Structure 1
Amino acid sequence: MRQEDIEETVAESGYRQIRADIIFGRLAPGQKLKLENLKGAYGTSVSTLREILNRLTSEGLVVAEGQRGFEVAGVSVADLREIAALRLLLEEHALEQSFEQGDVEWEAQLVSAHYKLARMEKVMATGDTSQAEDWKRYDWEFHQALIAACGSRLLMETHSAVFDKYLRYQMVALSYRGSVAEEEHRQLLETALRRDSKTAKEILQRHIQAGVEHALGRGLLAALPAQARG
């Protein structure tokens, strides 16, 4: 393998790792990202790290502070509401297209995605949060499966990027709504299988809005240190 290819592979791997660590809260909102410290943790050079962090800055997950370096983007109530509204707008449109075009293979993948999510929700319902990352990963996979037949790669990618930002808030707040959310997921599956996009969009709207209000109602964002709030 050429040196250029090796460097590109290292950079891409580092990008995915740092991005995942931000989304899943291992790198906290407002945390300073010191290049010398990150170099050892992610096994890459300072110059490569700078490229990665600039890339994440363009995605809104990192903030560049001029000569002072980088930090993980903060969180705020207004930002959460805006992200949730954009997610709903994209997901409703994609969902309608997916319901119209989905075939039996799409149905099978959707059922499989829901099965994994439902199993993990049972674990969360016991109060065991040790697998919270798996829970949210399966949540992401289920909602992606719902819209997977929409026919637009760009729409899927845009939705995925917005969902990741929404997911970061859920990990920060660790907001699990219990059997209510579990039932909404089951209803979304059923409406998908009978291609009832009208009802599905109503459930989705309730699902997202209730998730936001549940997180805010617990006051978890307000309880974060000042540097974590954007």
Structure 2
Amino acid sequence: MINSEETIGEAIYRRLRADIISCDLAPGQKLKLEPLKARYDTGLGTLREVLNRLASEDLVVAEGQKGFAVAPATVADLRETADLRLLLESHALKLSIARGDLDWEGEIVSAHHKLAAIEKQLLGGQNKQTVEWVRYDFAFHNALISACGSRSLLTMHATIFDRFLRYHMLAASFRGSGVVSDHRALLELALARDTQGALAMLSTHIESGLNHVLQTKLLAA
């Protein structure tokens, strides 16, 4: 659905990007223009523009005369993505804890409440809630860093977060009680303005996510 402020190209970009991150378009899959044209009901020029934009985000690979393909899922890329996420999110979290006001505290409490509700359902065996969990997981982490004062930093973090998320969608499994405990600890440490504790918890949290995906043994070397 295209809103009044969104161009057709932007809408196609958003849909195609979401399909890559959710792994509806699988890692390494060839992105042939004619099938994509039919799938997204758009022109070839728009598609090429969108695919080049996604290539700049490392979600698509341009293969010269062969066209385009979804970026492969590899151990090396996952590790690099995790390192970039930790670098960006740690810096933004440090700034947010220093600058965040009462409204910021309210936002992270609200975001955590929604995330915890979904996690409770997942722990109860309702696996169909995984897609909702993904949305609320990002909302919570974004709320934690939202007071950093830099729109560019938030944008870069969101891009890297999505790259990291693609690997979790590929693994297609919830990490369980450990991730729930991580999120609760991050909330409490942020509210206590314990910067060093929060940064250490974030590092552990991202490392645990990395190891969770690696244990599935679904990635190319």
> What does 1:132-211 correspond to in 2, within 5 Å?
132-211=130-209
Q: Residue 193 of structure 1 aligns to which amino acid in structure 2? A: L
CA RMSD of aligned residues (A): 1.4
The yes-or-no answer on 1:218 pairing with 2:216 is yes
Query: CA separation in 2, counterparts of 1:175 and 1:153?
Result: 32
Residue 124 of structure 2: aligned partner: 126
The yes-or-no answer on 1:84 pairing with 2:82 is yes
> What does 1:93-104 correspond to in 2, within 5 Å?
93-104=91-102
Contact 1:175-1:215 at 8 Å conserved across structures: no
Moved over 4 A (4+): none
Query: CA separation in 2, counterparts of 1:129 and 1:35?
Result: 34
Q: 3-state DSSP class of the match of 2:164? A: helix
Q: Residue 197 of structure 2 aligns to which amino acid in structure 1? A: T
Query: CA separation in 1, counterparts of 2:173 and 2:163?
Result: 15
Q: 3-state DSSP class of the match of 1:130? A: helix
Q: 3-state DSSP class of the match of 1:90? A: helix
Contact 2:95-2:148 at 8 Å conserved across structures: yes
Query: CA separation in 1, counterparts of 2:30 and 2:121?
Result: 34
Query: CA separation in 1, counterparts of 2:102 and 2:10?
Result: 34
Contact 2:168-2:213 at 8 Å conserved across structures: yes
Query: CA separation in 1, counterparts of 2:195 and 2:83?
Result: 18
Gaps of 5+ in 1: 1-5, 222-228
Gaps of 5+ in 2: none
How many equivalent pairs are there?
A: 217
Residue 224 of structure 1: aligned partner: none
Q: Residue 105 of structure 1 aligns to which amino acid in structure 2? A: D
Q: Residue 212 of structure 2 aligns to which amino acid in structure 1? A: H
Query: CA separation in 2, counterparts of 1:112 and 1:47?
Result: 42
- Identity within the alignment, %: 56
Residue 3 of structure 1: aligned partner: none
Residue 53 of structure 1: aligned partner: 51
TM-score (norm 1): 0.90
Residue 36 of structure 1: aligned partner: 34
Q: After TM superposition, give the deviation of residue 26 of structure 1 in Å.
A: 1.0
TM-score (norm 2): 0.94
